[in-house]
């Protein structure tokens, strides 16, 4: 029976407490991270507060991929960035647009009876994030093209829809990663 006054087993190892050197090292690491300008936050542009994300366009015959990707991008913006989504383009500091160029499904492995065992789902999208109104360099800048591929196996219950969902999640994360402030400025490129 366990009570308030338990006896300690003499064979059990005694718990070790942090030494003064361990505390000093921990404090030094904390001060170094704070004092040197390092941050654990993503470097987002502080001049931007609002983003307008219209429905992505689609140049494919695959249904509702543009809706799925637009919704995931909007959720990622709300979850990972300091930006606020707005419903009116006139109230936005920036506009994030996208066009789905193609959605493809390919067979990787076939069974001996010519049934698909493993397939891939690929989605390719062009994305452009500009200020509202766009600057002169943003007007002439080509959109960024990103693509991702996911493998799926119908025999274990995975479908084209689940693969498309996974690809869209990964693309949305990549798009939000691209919204981070670059480590260089446009003057550095000149």
Q: How many CA atoms lie within 13 A of 91 on its CB side?
A: 6
| Domains of the chain as residue ranges with CATH | 50-181 (3.30.160.150)
How much is the pLDDT for 38? Answer: 56
Question: Is a pLDDT exceeding 70 seen at residue 34?
Answer: no
Average the pLDDT over 1-13 and give the result: 61
Q: Reply yes or no on whether the pLDDT at 182 is more than 70.
A: no
Q: Look up the pTM and report it.
A: 0.75
- pLDDT tens digits for 76-119? 999 999 999 999 999 999 999 999 999 999 999 998 988 899 99
What was the pLDDT predicted at 15? 66
């Amino acid at each position: 029976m366990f009570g308030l006054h338990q006896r300690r087993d003499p064979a059990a190892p005694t718990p070790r407490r942090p030494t003064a050197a361990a505390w000093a090292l921990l404090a030094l690491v904390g001060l170094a991270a704070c004092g040197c300008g390092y941050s654990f936050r993503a470097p987002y542009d502080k001049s931007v507060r609002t983003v307008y994300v219209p429905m992505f366009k689609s140049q494919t015959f695959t249904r509702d991929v543009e809706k799925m990707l637009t919704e995931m991008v909007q959720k990622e913006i709300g979850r990972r960035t300091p930006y606020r989504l707005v419903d009116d383009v006139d109230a936005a500091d920036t506009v994030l647009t996208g066009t789905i160029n193609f959605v493809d499904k390919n067979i990787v492995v076939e069974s001996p009876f010519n049934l698909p065992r493993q397939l891939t789902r690929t989605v390719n999208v062009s994305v452009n994030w500009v200020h509202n109104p766009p600057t002169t360099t943003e007007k002439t800048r080509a959109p960024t093209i990103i693509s991702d591929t996911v493998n799926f196996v119908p025999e274990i219950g995975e479908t084209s829809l689940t693969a498309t969902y996974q690809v869209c999640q990964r693309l949305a994360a990549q798009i939000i990663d691209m919204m981070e402030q670059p480590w260089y400025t446009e003057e550095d490129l000149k």
